[in-house]
Structure 1
Amino acid sequence: MNAVPSPRDRQRQIGVFELERLRRTDSLADPAVRARALCGEIAAVANVDRVSYLVTTTPNPQLVATSTTVALDARSREVVRLQSIAARVREQGAAVTSPAFDIDPQSRRPECLELFAMPIHGRDHHHRDRDSHEDNVQNDAIRNDVTQDKHEDASDSNPSAVHAVIVMQRFMPQAVPLAEAITPIQPQIDAAAKVVLASWLSTSHRSERVTSRWWRRLSTGQRFAGLAIAAVIVGVLLSVPVPFRLAVEGRIEPATSRGVFAPASGTLVTLPVSDGELVQAGDPLAEINSPEIQLQYERLAGELASAETELATLRLNQSGTGRTANGRSGNDVSRGESSPAESRSRSARQMVLRSRIDSLREQATLIGDVKRSLAIESPVNGRVMMRDDQSDLLGQNVMQSQWLMQIVDPSGGYHAVLDLPDESFGYFSAATQTGEPVTATLRLRSSPDVEFLAELMSVANTVHWTERGEPVVGVTMRVTESMSSENMPAETMPADLHVGATVVGVVHAGNRAVGFVLFRPLIEWVRSYGW
């Protein structure tokens, strides 16, 4: 019949389980955190007051973690003592126990009651034939890290080299000796410590040590050569000029175009043209029917006819009265058939009618022009540009001065209206003051295989905000030449070019040092804080 396990045995079984769990988990944690967790587990299982984990792959052992505190001052006497214990274990290649380091040389008093310093070998020389594939991978990582100095070269050739040391200390007396408490779980501690060690050496801690050892191994001439190369690189970055470009985005606009607007309110009865159609000057574009204009025209025509008829009647009566007066005697005139007062009245009435007739004729001419303008004709030769929804206006009422379409003259060239970021305007302004023409290389989003070369025309005096909330300055540039993808001049502009088509590209803002061009965001960030 099996004996009932004692509480101490149960505690050791729990401790073995915890150490196995620590070996399998926390693989993504920081190596120092894993080492501190391992120290805490060992302290709880073995019932010790402090456990310290030291790495001995460097000439001076490095304290990684302890179970009592997160960090210890490397200059403290206790850390120096732990480093001397680890160095002794590394030299002997075996564990060190009390009383080897239990007496303080200065005070001659015990530093701790019990001490057990356990070595962690790069390869378990007692069980090399039974190592698993996982342990081989871990030990290879350990051996690859220890190759830079004489001590490390020697340990790399020795399969039992000590790469880490776990120091356990008791400051209070216990019933079970420390060595006896550690013996049952020593294999588990060794396995978990190797996992932590491999993690420590495979992270940045290893790379930093390798870099420092590499620099220390260089000769004085090699160091000077490295510094000279670095100085040359810095000099190149600060002095060699390269083209400096400012990224821009905008739209393309025709240099010559005429807008077509509704001359009066009315109904759009005909729209014989479509978007993109080529027209000649005088070709019909649209026709508007306006009852109001027609009514005004008819009213003026009626008033003008009435006034002209009245004026003709007055002139006829006046001429008949004069002939009668000349053929009669003085007695007939004295009877009042045609007195001087009546003659003056008729003359005044004629003057009023003539003045009114002139006014009505002018009004009729104006309203006639408006009536004729309702039949809209193309003002110039060009291409019709209209929105897709403009064709829906056919049969609908339009307002006076409403935009109907645009007639673009392709032979008149194009302008690029660009949005220059406000943060880049200082560089752009400096480029304009050099006396050299400021140019840009642009591409259409709809035809990215064609490049446009543009030259500065004007710069806006104000800053406006884009739809994305970015402050920009408007810059207008004249498109001087279009280049194909083979950098050959293109004979014509793209056929699908529309008014307002989006363009992207760069503005050439002179030359700057290559270091400034490469690290411009960092330099501007530093400048933003006034440094």
Structure 2
Amino acid sequence: MSPTPAPDDVWKDATALVDKIDQMSRSPLPVLGVDEDDFFDSFAKQLRQTASARSVVVRASETFSGESRDIELARDGIEVISQPSERHSGDPKTPTWRDDRHLVACVTIDEESEFQVDVRWGEAVALARHEPFAQMTQATAEIAATVYLKREVSRLRGKQSRRVDRDSIVCNMNRGSGLADSFRHIAQTISTYVDADRVCLLKQHSESTFCLIATSTSTSVDTRTRLGRRVQELASVIDSSDSDFEFTVGNAEDVPAAIKKSLDPYLVESGSRQVAVSRVECDGDHRDIIVMLERFSHPKRPGMLQRLSEIHLLVDTAIANALERDISGMRVFVDKMLQLRTAKRVGLFAGLVAVGVIAMSIIPIDFYVPAEGRVVAAVRRSIFAPTNGTVLALSVDNGDVVKPGDSIVVIRNRELETRIQQLEGGKARVKASLASAQRSRASGNGAADFSASATEQVLKSQLKGLDGQLSLLRHQQAELNVTSPIAGKIDHWDMRQRLSNRPIERGQFIADVIDPESGWKLEIEIDDSDSGYVLSQQHTKPCLIRFSLRSHSDQTYEAVLSNVDEVTHQNARGDWVVKGMVNCPVDFSKGNDFAANDKGLRAGATAKVEVFAGRRAIGFVWFRGLIEWIRAKV
């Protein structure tokens, strides 16, 4: 057993440990040879060694909906600690000795979260070492708590980013006007997500054959070429095995003989180094779909099937939607017609085509352009920090109702406080000098009176200048109590976590105050390729729109497009769009008040929007994608 260190040595070791943990928390962790997950293990180990303790446990506790949850971040030593220590109820900056062998340091993160360091010794700790051990444990716990907060913020940002990515995947997969166009968007989205060089979608043609419908590459694979035939042949063989398939060139993998017979010629023809095949089983009368993924370089990346499994539900839904859009009464009728004798079939087919072409050229129907929408309050004010400082008090939280002048946040600026104290001290000195000059003038001779009078004028001028500076600084200090400019509700979902007792910079966003009583507006984004139809109709007559909130898609509303921006913008997804604004008071077709049917209505709620762009020939509406493609090529 190592000799017990003297109290002076304990203070010295404690200071060194605090400096080391502080350096680890401030510097990029990989530079120190420690990643974020290992920081707490290293912290617990070094604290135990410095304190000569038997064990150290680092944990965080959270309370959500009345239920407490403890997260053990690190454990070092051999002590068996089955239950966490009780939550600290005293001063959050004062560690607690539960007995001579048990020390607990707590850092309160917010009202519902706490960071705790539990240190235990095998033998009683001398009273002279209680204070240095307590101060060392508390100081290092506060430093480690900041690392925990950084990790939680990073985790929340990643979660938000994944949510945005998922929304983007859903939007991209459900595009397209025809089956081939829809499948191409699905293939391109899958290719981007799984990091594949090419994705092919094949549809079952008969019991044992598949037909290539679309690929993710700009140059499609012709089904008449040798490569096209190899792709379809391999898909048919793998489908008969009733299981997904993945193969990497160079790996010692056992491949069934039936698959190998088609796989080898396909690899030679395509040049692929890795291939994966997954089957999508469709309900009803739809035939199965094969998803084939390829990589042309030797992959040192996650398996494609593994990545595909993360979005398989989205892929299945997008494929089912594309197939449903492709089915129509006309197509069923054509299938029955093809069963007739050749002569009758040709004549009937020609007549139907002629009638159809004429009808589609002259019969007009309503033409709607799709758009994306987002609900915003008609009256909204954003609040920003007036200066740098630290949040001293947070008076409200997300969803709280406020009136004009109600305090939102109180900011403390130490530089401003120091400057005011300096000016007040200077003012006191000037006042003392002025009083002394006045006494000297009162008791002196003529020459002395003249000198004292001049001094008084200078001091009075300085005093006036100091009063002006103090008045300006006190006005700035009063502005640190940030208040609500309007009556409404606070809109900032993680306001307390982001701001409570945190440093804040000038111009940093604090919260939005929205007034639901003033009504709602709908901000819409129209794809640049569709904006010409909308602008043309808007110049003639304001466009009608119909929309439904994605959270309550059973209710449809109608409104009028109040204005359209004639400038093209690039949105967060990188698409070029034209923005518009819609007031949302009334559903004209049903007489329903939009504000009165606000179940689930909230700022930022997304909506599926269709903008009325006039009446066009039915053929144009149905085959707009083909017509625009022909126009672009010609």
TM-score by length of 1: 0.50
- Paired with 1:282 and 1:27, the residues of 2 have a C-alpha distance of 73
Task: Go from structure 1 to structure 2 and tell me whether the alpha carbon gap of 1:497 and 1:302 turns closer, same or farther (over 3 Å shift).
Answer: farther
Does 2:349 match 1:243? no
Choose which of 609, 617, 620 in structure 2 pairs with 1:516.
620
Q: Take 2:399 and 2:475, find their aligned partners in 1: how far apart are those partners? A: 29
Q: Which amino acid aligns with 1:212?
A: A
- Do structure 1's residue 441 and structure 2's residue 572 form an aligned pair? no
* Higher relative contact order, chain-length normalized (CA < 8 Å, sep 6+): 1
Distance 1:209 1:485 in 2: 46
Aligned to 1:380: 486
Instruction: Work out whether 1:456 is the aligned partner of 2:562.
Output: yes
Q: Which residue of 2 aligns with 1:263?
A: 386
1:444·1:503 contact (CA, 8 Å) conserved in 2? yes
Aligned ranges 1:399-414 → 2 under 5 Å: 399-414=505-520
What's the counterpart of residue 280 of structure 1? 403
Q: 1:465–1:471: 8 Å Cα contact kept in structure 2?
A: yes
Measured in 1, the distance between the counterparts of 2:403 and 2:428 equals 39
TM-score, reference length from structure 2: 0.43
Give the structure 2 partner of residue 211 of structure 1: 342
What's the counterpart of residue 584 of structure 2? 480
Does structure 1 conserve the Cα–Cα contact (< 8 Å) formed by 2:519 and 2:595?
A: no
How far apart in 2 are the matches of 1:523 and 1:241? 16
Structure 1 residues 244-253 or 478-487, which shifts more?
A: 478-487
Q: How does 1:39-54 map to 2 (within 5 A)?
A: none
CA distance in 1, matches of 2:608, 2:207: 49
How far residue 317 of structure 1 moved from its aligned partner, in angstroms, is 4.1
Q: Look up the equivalent residue of 2:342 and give its one-letter code.
A: T
- Go from structure 1 to structure 2 and tell me whether the alpha carbon gap of 1:410 and 1:454 turns closer, same or farther (over 3 Å shift): farther
Matched, 1:310 2:415: no
Alpha carbons of 1:27 and 1:521: their partners in 2 closer, same or farther (altered >3 Å)? closer
* Alpha-carbon spacing, 1:498–1:355, altered in 2? closer, same or farther (3 Å): farther
Alpha-carbon separation, structure 2, partners of 1:29 and 1:414: 54
Return closer, same or farther for 1:320/1:458 CA change in 2, 3 Å cut-off.
farther
1:297 Cα deviation after fit: 1.7
1:361-402 deviations in Å (ceiling 9; x for gaps):
222122212222333322210011003254343222222322
Distance 1:28 1:512 in 2: 43
**Structure 1: where are the runs of 5+ without partners?**
1-25, 31-203, 322-336
CA RMSD of aligned residues (A): 3.5
1:213 Cα deviation after fit:
4.2
Q: Secondary structure at the match of 1:433?
A: helix
Instruction: Tell me the SS of whatever aligns to 2:529.
Output: helix
**Post-superposition shift, 1:231?**
5.5
Query: Structure 1 residues 215 and 359 mapped into 2: Cα distance closer, same or farther (>3 Å)?
Result: same
Q: Is the 8 A contact 2:398 2:495 kept in 1?
A: no
Sequence identity of aligned pairs in percent? 27
SS at match of 1:406: strand
Distance in 2 (alpha carbons) for counterparts of 1:523 and 1:413: 41
Structure 2 equivalent of residue 505 of structure 1: 609
Is the 8 Å Cα contact of residues 275 and 385 (structure 1) preserved in structure 2? Answer: yes
Deviation at 1:476, TM superposition (A): 2.8
For 1:352, which of 458, 461, 479 is the aligned residue? 458
Residue deviations 1:74-98, cap 9 Å, x none?
xxxxxxxxxxxxxxxxxxxxxxxxx
**Kindly tell me: are residues 452 and 345 of structure 1, through their superposed partners in 2, closer, same or farther at Cα, counting changes over 3 Å?**
farther
Whole-Å separation in 2 of the counterparts to 1:510 and 1:454 = 14
CA 247–28 in structure 1, closer or farther in 2 if over 3 Å, else same = closer
Residues 99-498 of structure 1 mapped to structure 2, 5 A cutoff: 207=338, 210-213=341-344, 233-318=356-441, 321=444, 337-339=445-447, 345-388=451-494, 390-434=496-540, 436-448=541-553, 449=555, 451=557, 453-459=559-565, 461-467=567-573, 469-473=574-578, 475-483=579-587, 488-492=592-596, 494=598, 496-498=600-602
Query: 1:490: how far off?
Result: 3.6
Q: Is the 8 A contact 1:262 1:399 kept in 2?
A: yes
Residue identity opposite 1:306 in structure 2: R
SS of match in other structure, 2:592? coil
In 1, are the aligned partners of 2:568 and 2:576 still within 8 Å (CA)?
A: no
1:510 Cα offset (Å): 1.7
Q: Which amino acid aligns with 1:338?
A: G
Between the aligned partners of 2:493 and 2:566, the Cα distance in structure 1 is 27
State how far apart, in whole Å, the 1-side matches of 2:558 and 2:425 are: 60
Distance 1:403 1:215, change over 3 A: closer
1:263-293 CA distances to partner (integer Å, 9 max, x unpaired)?
3333323223221121112222222233222
1:447–1:209 Cα change, 3 Å = closer
CA distance, structure 2, for counterparts of residue 29 and residue 407 of structure 1: 61
2-structure distance, mates of 1:495, 1:350:
72
Greater Rg, structure 1 or structure 2? 1
Contact 1:250 1:416 in 2 (8 A): yes
